[in-house]
Amino acid sequence: MAKASVASPPLNDPKLYTNRELSLLDFQRRVFAEACDESNPLLERVKFLSILSSNLDEFFMVRFAGLRQQVESGVTELSIDGRTPAAVTEAIRIDVTALVSEAYEFWEKTLCPELRKVGIHISHYEDVTKKQRAYLDEYFHKTVFPVLTPLAFDPGRPFPYISNLSLNLAVKVRDERGDHFARLKVPDALPQFVQVPVEKGSCFVWLEDVIHANLSSLFPGLDIVASYPFHITRDAEFAVQEIESDDLLETIEEAVWQRRFSEVVRLQVNRTMPEDILEILTSNLEPDPRDIYRVDGPLDLSRLKAIAALDYPELHDKLAVPYTPPAFAEDDLFAAVRKEDILLHHPFDSFQPVVEFFRRAAKDPDVLAMKITLYRTGQNSPIVAALLDGAVEHAKQVAVLVELKARFDEESNIEWAKALEREGVHVIYGLVGLKVHSKIGLIVRREGDTMRRYVHMATGNYNAQTARFYTDLGMFTADEQIGADATDLFNYLTGYSRKTEFRKLLVAPLNLRKRLEQMIQREIARHRAHGDGHLIFKMNALEDQPMIEALYRASQAGVKIDLLVRGLCCLRPGLPGISETITVTSIVGRFLEHSRIYYFYNGGSEEVYLGSADLMPRNLSRRVEVVFPVENPKLIRRLRDEILKTYMADNVKARRLDSDGKYTLIRPKSDEPAVDSQAVFLAARSR
């Protein structure tokens, strides 16, 4: 008798999904794994440990804080995997406790001894020689002491304000009247490691150790009983009530200010802190007792970035010299773009051509207008400098959309917006209810009797600093239809427009979701007819349930699906009858994988799109994103054969996700060469 087939669960069944926050913590484990990887140069491993600490700070400020808000508001709506906010917060606490414990043990027992072997000593004040302590004391009195401000806490003086992510000392002092409490902030404006002179190698002492050893200078006439470090994380997940606001700039400024006083979502203390000191902190800072983390070692390991930056070339990755395509050596850059579309793969290709594109446009007498969207620009932005030059010195029409709601860049973007406005640039602050996350620049140039539009579009920000460390893709084009789309897009951003369709661009929240779903459905139909369906999607995160369901349907139809997802992934690959044809690979390497590529085989008539959008609800429905087609056959081949195939062949830095949500490091088979995708890209562009 034939065996009855088992019906597949509905595609919205929570069992088919992984929790977003827990998947994001899995990504932090992959970052930590790079710190543990002995094939990485030693100071690069220190860098990854610093990144882990910084990432966890942001995780608590945003993701965990958002869940806490839901719990406190009584929200019981289930997550994509069927958990309540309260259940997710408890799972996070368990995972974070284990991860942080492993990280501190690794720092103390592995990285510190390995640093000592190469002559880099991270010491405590009491462990250095008498002569070195004298040097540290002198440094304290000359450099540190003038900056410090001890703040007492007693009936006449309230508990002091503790700023987010600040490192502090809880100090207990004693006089004839009894014990007293004071708070002392470890100044983040000073180096967090004090270098002491040694005959050979390098020796550093944590700044808080130097301060602790000299507390008597700050509290003369009192006995120093003890001091204990503590570090707080505040809720940074604020919602801007734009609809009720007449002035978005003023509203964002106020929200950023209020964020300074938001509730504490994590308190980190040293394991040796006694209960009476902890009680003073908890009664005034009011963290949830479950969100107090005791650690064995120095607090805030993100400060290790200073050690990771030490000038020991042999302990770092080899210097990467980016490649500049020959087209950008030409005097007439616009002619090069008119000739053919130009694709750049950063940081392997230099970001300087992007800067030069806007610089030349600013000075070109035939350029009449420059328009751009700015999300994260960084400090001393050469792109902003070019825009200012064009507006002020060369009388161009310059329009800039500065997204004020770019998290943690709000203050920087506010300053850029004000600076641009002062010089007469048309500045738009964003749209009500939407973040503008697109990366697009438009140059309008008079050429004879015609007006030609040149467009630069990218997967990454117009940020010359992060372009050295993030992998991103950018394309220059003079395509008339894309130029017309870019004009329509900027009119949508700066004026009033009900346009929902574009000629070639996919724009969220207008048509991106619909077009992606249509192209996935087209691949399903093609596979059913010819058996050759193939999708390759590369992104930072995969969370959107309707898009995951579309991918599950494609897999059920037999379409081969290769997903390259750096960070969180809520899809579960390899589930029988659901996702058997789907593979999910995560690559964490020297550079932060940031590019988004959407490849559709389409029966050999391949279509490839690049852009700023991940497959997340916020990107598809709550942000303005631009995803653009690559149509030049030569560039399609490069993306398919040189970039995507190399990523999929990676067996050094790649990890494969299984159906249970576990990532396994891929290793080359005995007859396979080792392939580190980022190293391959570096080697190819250095020839």
Residues catalogued as catalytic: 437
Which pairing describes strands 597-600 and 607-611: parallel, antiparallel, or unpaired? antiparallel
Q: Which amino acid, residue 519?
A: M
The residue written with tokens 């070019």 in the block is 386
Q: What is d(CA 634, CA 327) in angstroms, rounded to the nearest whole number?
A: 15
* Cα–Cα dist 136/210, whole Å: 7
**Identity of the residue numbered 453:** R
What the block records as the tokens of 671 is 């007859």
Under 8 Å between Cβ of 201 and 131? no
Q: How far apart are alpha carbons 176 and 223 in whole angstroms?
A: 10
Q: How many CB atoms lie within 10 A of CB 564?
A: 25
C-alpha dihedral (293, 298, 303, 305), degrees to nearest 10: -110
- Residue owning tokens 């990280």: 103
What are the beta bridge partners of residue 375? Answer: none
Among residues 423, 415, 347, the alpha carbon closest in space to that of 389 is found at 423
Place of tokens 């999904």: 17
Q: DSSP label at 644?
A: I
Closest CA to 57 of 260, 248, 214, 235: 235
Residues 6+ apart with CB under 8 A from 140: 210, 211, 213, 214, 217
Show the tokens assigned to 62: 């945003």
Alpha helices, H only, 320-452: 333-339, 352-363, 382-392, 410-422
Cβ-Cβ contacts under 8 Å for 416 (sequence gap 6 or more): 374, 377, 381, 384, 402
CA atoms within 13 A on the CB side of 155: 0
